[in-house]
Amino acid sequence: MTPVDSLPAPRTVSAADTAWQLRVAGLGHVYGVLTDGAVERTGSLAGTAKDPVTGSIVAAWDVDFEVATGEALGLIGESGSGKSTVMRCIAGDLRPTVGSIEFRRRDGSVEELLDMPPARRRALRVDDLAIVYQDPAEGLDMRISAGGNIAEPLTAAGWRHFGRIRERGAELLARTDVPVARMDDLVREFSGGMRQRVQLAKALANQPSLVLFDEPTTGLDASVAAGVLDLIRNLIDDLGLAAVVVSHDFGVIEMLTSRCVVMHHGRVVEQGLTDQLFEDPQHPYSQRLVAAARA
């Protein structure tokens, strides 16, 4: 765990670090029973993630990607494509049916997340891995203040000095463009965009190595969403985070990521450099997403 009332030393990016921070291999998750033929009866070519025989949902299958330290990778697809299922498997909210998820810790050691006991997995969510949900209510306690929400991961990491906790909270709120004067206001009194900024501040409390962003601007007005996206992009660049950005909007993916993975009916149909995919998508589904972003 993080030392009491202190932050981990900033990471120095070595050649080994830039190989990968997160590695996902052969990941699959099925809602329901996985039976013979279910994989073959579903997917992009079949035009459905639902097995017509059993009714089970093959939400994601055979998903592979890596994310390097300091890199932002996008997962893009429409609702039902499987992108959020993959993200929740990485976060530990779902247990994959098959596959592997490896994570490089601050000390350079590599751990298989699926083999971690629950207590160690919870500690990882405190120290090294954070998630920013589409709905801020999933990532925040709406009954307490903005400062109280930021204090939660700090106290879980061992912080005990009230003054230092408030100092760290004020620093994070300022960094995410939340007025420090509102630190003691209940987050339920905040606008949607301001709640998302508080959620960002909370996610960054213990300087995580990896942050997962699940549709971070969905439901926000266009002008507010643009401000939040600009803030996220600056934070990723300034802090050297490894990030996975989940979105249905190619415009969001283009703004935040350097590489992206396109998912359709639970399968990866295309992946590569974001700018190249945006300029010259090869798969028909990718072409439709790009056309929608340009409309």
SS3 at position 92: coil
Confidence category of residue 56, pLDDT binned at 50, 70, 90: very high
Q: Do residues 213 and 134 lie in contact, with contact meaning Cβ atoms separated by under 8 Å?
A: no
Tens of pLDDT, residues 195-242: 999 999 999 999 999 999 999 888 888 888 899 899 999 888 888 889
The rounded mean pLDDT for the chain is 91
Q: Is the pLDDT of residue 267 over 80?
A: yes
Residue 12, pLDDT score? 43
- Which residues fall within 8 angstroms of residue 267, CB to CB, at 6 or more apart? 43, 44, 60, 61, 62, 82
Q: Is the pLDDT of residue 15 over 90?
A: no
More confident residue, 261 or 8: 261
Phi/psi at 135 (5° precision): -100, 115
Confidence category of residue 18, pLDDT binned at 50, 70, 90: low
Confidence category of residue 7, pLDDT binned at 50, 70, 90: low
Please tell me the number of Cα atoms within 13 Å of 177 on its side-chain side: 13
The amino acid that residue 232 corresponds to is I
Residue 10, pLDDT score? 46
Q: Is the pLDDT of residue 2 over 80?
A: no
Are β-strands 98-104 and 129-132 bridged in parallel, bridged antiparallel, or unpaired? unpaired
Residue 8, pLDDT score? 56
The secondary element (H helix, E strand) that includes residue 213 is strand 210-214
Residue 222, pLDDT score? 86
Nearest Cα residue to 157 out of 7, 2, 5: 2
The amino acid that residue 247 corresponds to is S
DSSP the chain: -PPTT--PPPPP--TTTTT-SEEEEEEEEEES---TTTTTTSBTTTTBSB-TTT--EEEEEEEEEEE-TT-EEEEE--TTSSHHHHHHHHHTSS--SEEEEEEE-TTS-EEEGGGS-HHHHHHHHHHTEEEE-SSHHHHS-TTSBHHHHHHHHHHHTT---HHHHHHHHHHHHHHTT--GGGTTSBGGGS-HHHHHHHHHHHHTTT--SEEEEESTTTTS-HHHHHHHHHHHHHHHHHHT-EEEEEES-HHHHHHH-SEEEEEETTEEEEEEEHHHHHHS--SHHHHHHHHHHH-
Nearest Cα residue to 181 out of 193, 191, 173, 189: 173
Q: Is the pLDDT of residue 16 over 60?
A: no
Is the model's pTM score more than 0.95?
Answer: no
Q: Is the pLDDT of residue 63 over 80?
A: yes
Average pLDDT, integer, range 17-36: 90
CA torsion sign, 100 to 257 to 246 to 79? negative
